[in-house]
């Protein structure tokens, strides 16, 4: 398949007074240019040479027809693209004001505060409401959010800010996680005991009546997950239909690998928990067990160095389910001046958790219809994202494919949260075109570009094109033959015919190679390629 190079999305400048205030007063995102591309151990190309090429934008020899500017950043796969700027002005006014005030008071970057709050809103709504596209089709409002940053960038403070309020709602403010897990285990044992006693009574042909406080089937009243292991998840998620939320300060440890003795089952439940569908699982103690509506929201943090570990199986759709938030933030020891309007946030979360679900024969969730005039902008945006899939890497293509879903869920959260913040009761009549337009803008200018940035940063394996470019630089040949010098060349990193062709095509698109003129008298097209002189110069510096 032919590789096509897609340029990173440019930063979107915030143009409102609110965003201007934030830029002046908040901890600043780094505005420095990306650091020079370092040398790779196996490829002795001077990092100063690459840096010089980047800084000077490679003034090529015009008379030879080379491109004036070459982006050499592809030689370093760990070099992340610049982060987009969060468009806070696209949030509804009351929510934008709440985010800005909390960020200012606590000296935190807006990105972390905004998405921590959005995740908390999603968790508080849970499965109580969904967006209705048309009769019989409901989109849940669960979102998965990952705050990515080095230590002291404020991601844990942003999570802690909402976590305290969520735990208060959950009735678990003073109880430890281990105590809650023990209580859940005791409850499971009680239910198992009742079932065993009932079986024994049936075999002995005697009557048995379950205790009054025992109820088979879904129950409610909890918000936060206390377990991420396979059995623990099954026990908690089968207890009610209102949805649960995971809040963790170390995402890579909580999901899929470190905390579970059954990592595949745990990860699988989180994959399915994004969609809110009924799921039947098999357990050793109780056989087949129904989770009536498996719905989860997630808010977690991860350090950049753990991204590749977290995404090593990300192509199963796990990575594409997340909103990745990885701003360019300079670590700071600055302390907040005051808690900010945290009580306002607590009030909104409490009101959202108080939403009455439908809970009738048609389903548990209350439906909020999508307004008729909100469909056209969503379809137009989805068409653009679908087209972009053809020119993107596998991981980023998956994220683009979920663009419509991102926008739908975000629009529903924005609409319901705004409704509550305006002091209105119940649920809004529709998800409006305004909410949809705001959600689309956030997805298009921030969520998707940020996903592209994070996916690129997590892929530390150099591409065939990058490996070939380094090999050609070391070889020092101004012209190479695809068969003799690359496929059969000593030490060539790319030798398979298809891989060689794709790598050469990518380097041609990047302006690093170009086909040599056809030699007179040759019967078939030449496979000779001229190497950019700037690439050869790198190895000599």
Instruction: Map 413-428 to HEC letters.
Output: HHHHHHHHHCCCCCCC
pLDDT score for 307: 83
Q: What percent of the chain has pLDDT over 90?
A: 43
Residue 185 CA: distances (Å) to CA of 157, 495, 519:
31, 57, 78
- Which residue reads 């982006």 in tokens? 71
Angle between helices 263-272 and 230-237 (to 10 degrees): 40
Vertex 431 angle, CA 428 and 435, to 5°: 115
- Of the ranges 92-101, 262-271, 369-378, 390-399, which one carries the lowest mean pLDDT score? 262-271
**pLDDT above 50 for 88:** yes
Vertex 278 angle, CA 276 and 284, to 5°: 120
What is the CATH topology of the domain spanning 81-460? Answer: Rossmann fold (3.40.50)
Phi and psi torsions of 244, nearest 5°: -135, 165
Confidence of residue 541 (pLDDT cuts 50, 70, 90): low
**Strand (E) or helix (H) holding 278:** strand 277-283
CATH 1.10.10 fits 47-76+463-540, yes or no: yes
- The string of pLDDT tens digits covering residues 491-528 is 899 999 999 999 999 898 888 998 988 766 655 666 89
Q: Can you give the C-alpha Rg of the chain in angstroms?
A: 27
Contact between residue 320 and residue 447 where contact means Cβ atoms under 8 Å apart: no
pLDDT score for 13: 41
pLDDT score for 284: 75
- Which residue reads 């000296």 in tokens? 107
End-to-end CA distance of the chain: 35
Residue whose C-alpha is closest to residue 91's, from 107, 108, 115, 123: 115
Output the six-digit token pair for 169: 């709602």
81-460 shares the fold of 47-76+463-540? no
**pLDDT above 50 for 119:** yes
Mean pLDDT of 200-207: 56
Residue whose C-alpha is closest to residue 414's, from 450, 438, 445: 438
311-350 residues labelled b (16+ CB within 10 A) or e (exposed): beebeeebbbbbbbbbbbbeeeeeebeeebebeebbebbe
**pLDDT above 60 for 215:** no
204, burial (CB in 10 Å: exposed 0-12, middle 13-18, buried 19+):
exposed
Sequence spans of domains, the chain = 47-76+463-540, 81-460
- Which residue reads 């440890």 in tokens? 253
């Amino acid at each position: 398949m032919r590789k096509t190079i897609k340029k990173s999305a440019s930063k979107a400048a915030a143009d409102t007074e609110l965003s201007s205030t934030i830029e002046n007063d908040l901890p600043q995102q780094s505005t420095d240019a990306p650091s020079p591309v370092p040398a790779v151990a196996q490829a002795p190309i001077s990092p100063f040479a690459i840096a010089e090429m980047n800084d000077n934008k490679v003034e090529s020899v015009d008379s030879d027809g080379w491109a004036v500017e070459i982006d050499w950043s592809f030689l370093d796969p760990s070099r992340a693209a610049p982060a987009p700027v969060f468009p806070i002005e696209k949030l509804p006014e009351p929510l934008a004001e709440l985010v800005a005030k909390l960020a200012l008071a606590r000296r935190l970057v807006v990105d972390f505060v905004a998405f921590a709050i959005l995740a908390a809103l999603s968790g508080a709504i849970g499965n109580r409401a969904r967006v209705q596209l048309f009769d019989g089709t409901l989109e849940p409002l669960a979102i998965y959010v990952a705050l990515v940053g080095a230590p002291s960038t404020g991601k844990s403070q942003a999570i802690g800010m909402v976590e305290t309020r969520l735990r208060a709602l959950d009735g678990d403010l003073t109880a430890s996680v281990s105590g809650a897990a023990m209580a859940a285990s005791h409850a499971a044992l009680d239910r198992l005991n009742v079932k065993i006693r009932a079986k024994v009574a049936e075999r002995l042909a005697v009557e048995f009546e379950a205790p009054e406080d025992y109820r088979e089937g879904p129950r409610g009243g909890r918000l936060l997950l206390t377990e991420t292991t396979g059995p623990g998840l099954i026990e908690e998620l089968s207890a009610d239909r209102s949805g649960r939320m995971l809040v963790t300060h170390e995402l890579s440890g909580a999901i899929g690998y470190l905390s579970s003795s059954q990592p595949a089952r745990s990860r699988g439940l989180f994959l399915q928990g994004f969609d809110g569908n009924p799921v039947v699982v098999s357990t050793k103690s109780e056989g087949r067990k129904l989770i009536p509506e498996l719905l989860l929201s997630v808010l977690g943090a991860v350090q950049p160095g753990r991204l590749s570990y977290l995404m090593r199986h990300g192509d199963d759709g796990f990575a594409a389910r997340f909103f990745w938030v990885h701003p360019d933030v300079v670590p700071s020891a600055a302390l907040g001046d005051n808690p900010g309007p945290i009580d306002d946030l607590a009030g909104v979360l409490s009101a959202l958790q108080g939403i009455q679900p439908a809970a009738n024969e048609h389903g548990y969730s209350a439906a909020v219809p999508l307004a008729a005039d909100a469909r056209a902008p969503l379809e137009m945006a989805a068409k653009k994202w679908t087209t972009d899939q053809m020119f993107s890497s596998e991981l980023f293509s998956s994220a683009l494919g979920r663009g419509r879903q991102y926008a739908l869920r975000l629009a529903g959260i924005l609409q319901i949260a705004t409704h509550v913040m305006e002091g209105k009761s119940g649920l809004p009549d529709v998800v409006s075109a305004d909410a949809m337009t705001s959600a689309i803008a956030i997805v298009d200018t921030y969520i998707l570009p940020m996903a592209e940035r994070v996916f690129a940063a997590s892929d530390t394996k150099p591409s065939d094109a990058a490996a070939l470019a380094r090999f050609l630089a070391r070889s020092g040949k101004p012209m190479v033959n695809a068969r003799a010098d690359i496929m059969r060349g000593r030490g060539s990193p790319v030798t398979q015919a298809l891989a060689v062709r794709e790598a050469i095509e990518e380097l041609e698109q990047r302006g690093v190679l170009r086909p040599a003129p056809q030699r007179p008298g040759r019967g078939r097209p030449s496979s000779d390629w001229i190497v950019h002189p700037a690439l050869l110069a790198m190895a000599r510096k």
